[in-house]
Chain A
Amino acid sequence: MSETRNEQLAVLESMVRIRRVEERLAELFTQGNIPGFIHVSIGQEAVAAGVCSGLGPGDSVLTTHRGHGHAVAKGIELRRFMAEIYGRQNGFCKGRGGSMHVADRNVGVVGANGIVGGGLPIALGTALASQYRGEKTVTVCFFGDGASNEGTFHEALNIAALWSLPVVFCCENNSWAQFTPQSSYMKVTSVAQRAAGYGMPGTCVDGSDVTQVRAAAREAVERARSGGGPTLLECKVLRWQGHYVGDAQKYRAPDDVKEARTHDPIRSYAEVLGAAKVLEPGDLEKIEQCVKAEIDDAVAFAAASPMADPADLLTDVYA
């Protein structure tokens, strides 16, 4: 399937936007402007950008503690996204959620989640509701390889396959769960293998290659949309940074981190597009400028947004 130049540039721009947003978040967090914790997905942008490029506004996304990229790629408005992470009243969740719980109903970001594995069963319900109402929308649930060991993963995959639900389970396998390497918590190295046990297709792609991610995601989303049921899509990625911003990764071999950083989904896609003459000289600079302006604007908006009001402490608990 041939893609237009604009589509390709949009994917590149989406990855750049995620990278720059997270770099800025890390900086703002380090300066003390953001409460809580921040987990960035730097180096893993191809998954969010690649998968979400094939989704429409009516499709739903559930994400994790490492979820900025998915929300940004799904088209969340940066101003209120930033204000949310700042914990301010103008944030999408009135500043109640913060980085780990960003949600925006308008673009189908059902929510990031501080509970690892928390989103997996919820995806069954959004997918079932869509099926029930005869809509052709799909749900994508992002999660990590660590999460694939929670009971919720196994319950969710069985039910989704059994009921042919329109879900894509997208595992970002970065081979770490916090400070512990995968060999200490899983016997298999590929999460996609597990799909067979539930009776659904499982695919594994290089998650640093956005072209591969897009192709695999397109197939999975089409299957879901056309009534063909769920897919387990595994994207192998490399975690460039620590588990959270401020984690110096002393538990990791320096060479491992260095090696991870040689897999740069943005640089390699820019090279591919450059070689194909899709990306002309000056295009990337334009993308960077435009993204920077958006982020500057969002940060200014967040910083000027009012702090959470103590008078609101008791609201939104019940209708």
Chain B
Amino acid sequence: MPTLNIIQAVNDALRQEMRRDPTVVILGEDVGKFGGVFRASQGLQEEFGKDRVIDTPLAESGVIGTAVGMALYGLRPVPEIQFADFIFPAMDQIVSEVAKFRYRSGGQYTCPMVIRTPYGGGIRGGHYHSQSPEAHFIHTAGLKVVVPSNPHDAKGLLTSAIRDPDPVLFFEPKRMYRAARGEVPDGEVVVPIGKARVTREGRHVTLIAWGAMWHEADQAAREAADLGIECEVLDLRTLQPLDIDAIVESVQKTGRAVVVHEAPRTCGFGAEISALIQERCFLHLEAPVARVTGFDTPFPYTLESEYLPRAPRILKAVREVMAF
């Protein structure tokens, strides 16, 4: 089985789905001839031509709007927004059109598309190359939100997302693009949307994370093990629809939960998860649900290592819920 990094896995999934389904079309800034700023679409214009891998002007609203129309007329557009930070010029199209077309047309029209975008900090990118805006989209009914943490899931989830009948925001952890490597089967890989994965079993604390933060949570779990604390680690993989059953099952076993995300704390997805846990696991809880998150600030330029949740901060939270 080949060993791939995340960017290669994304490329692989795009290529396979484009071979399988002639309605799959990629569009975005620098995606065609250049192959994308992170190389996600490298070689695809050569194989599929300019009609299926389209270089667009700098016009995020126009790109997503075009994708809406394409989707309404039976294509499967896969627009790329170069950095998640640049998705906001397209926010109106995503929130007002993409998310609502099925509902407002009584199911006549649908908007199947995958908006791929690299997100997250840790590359010293400053304000507009670092943010994690997933919560805005989870909050918008009608959108699915998927965040892989590793190459296998990147390929399998992107495949599912492209085949999904609904619009999917596909957030790729750019800090892990090349750092996360793993075996990925050559042929078709399908990872279902809406299913979390228990990546480590444990009986004391449930660590809940996604994307780049899963790697920090995993690291914290290893360090906790040295202290005799057994963490169960959950990689959510899909944030909307959320695999609440997996969370409940784990927390009912451990009685403790720590949620980790890079985005600011207030109204971050950790708040929703925490509420769901207390609604469903109240009598099993041994400690309040803890959140280890970014801070309620714009993304800082030089203080990102203080801002981002890293294993030591997660471990501290683990020890606190254990000591509660």
Contacts and interface: CB of A to CB of B under 8 A. Distances in A.
Interface string A298-319: 0000000001101011100100
Interface size class of B (residues with CB under 8 A): 20 to 34
A279 interface: no
Given A179-B37, A313-B303, A37 B58 contact: no
Interface stretch (A7-15, A16-24, A111-119): A111-119
Interface in A89-106: 95-98, 100-101
B156 interface: no
Contacts of B55: 180, 184-185
A314 B30 CA distance: 36
A259 B42 CA distance: 28
B33 A151 contact: no
B48 interface: no
Contacts of A35: 124, 126, 301-302
Contacts of B295: 313-314
Contacts of A202: none
Interface string A135-161: 000000000001101111000000000
Contacts, number: 107
A215 to B, nearest CB: 30
A184 B59 contact: no
A308 B300 CA distance: 10
A97 B60 CA distance: 24
A14 B83 CA distance: 34
Interface in A269-319: 307-308, 310, 312-314, 317
A220 to B, nearest CB: 24
B22 interface: no
Contact of B128 (A100, A149, A150): A100
Interface string A179-193: 110001110000000
B34 A180 contact: yes
Given A117-B58, A149-B59, A308 B34 contact: no
B127 interface: yes
B241 interface: no
Contacts of A36: 124-126, 301
B57 A115 contact: no
Contact of A184 (B32, B88, B125, B296): B32
B170 interface: no
Contact of B57 (A149, A307, A312): A149
Given A152-B89, A308-B302, A313-B297, A184 B126 contact: no
Contacts of A317: 296-298
Interface in B178-216: none
A177 interface: yes
A208 B150 CA distance: 48
A185 B34 CA distance: 13
B173 to A, nearest CB: 19
B301 A96 contact: yes
B278 interface: no
A251 interface: yes
A178 interface: yes
Given A36-B124, A152-B89, A313 B307 contact: yes
B129 interface: yes
B47 interface: no
Nearest to A310: B306
B61 interface: yes
30 contacts: A35-B126, A36-B126, A37-B126, A37-B129, A87-B302, A96-B302, A97-B301, A100-B128, A101-B301, A114-B85, A114-B126, A114-B129, A115-B85, A115-B89, A149-B59, A150-B89, A151-B62, A177-B29, A177-B30, A177-B57, A177-B58, A178-B37, A179-B37, A180-B32, A185-B58, A251-B33, A307-B302, A308-B300, A313-B307, A314-B296
Given A115-B85, A313-B295, 10 more contacts: A36-B125, A100-B126, A116-B86, A177-B58, A178-B29, A179-B37, A180-B55, A184-B55, A313-B300, A314-B295
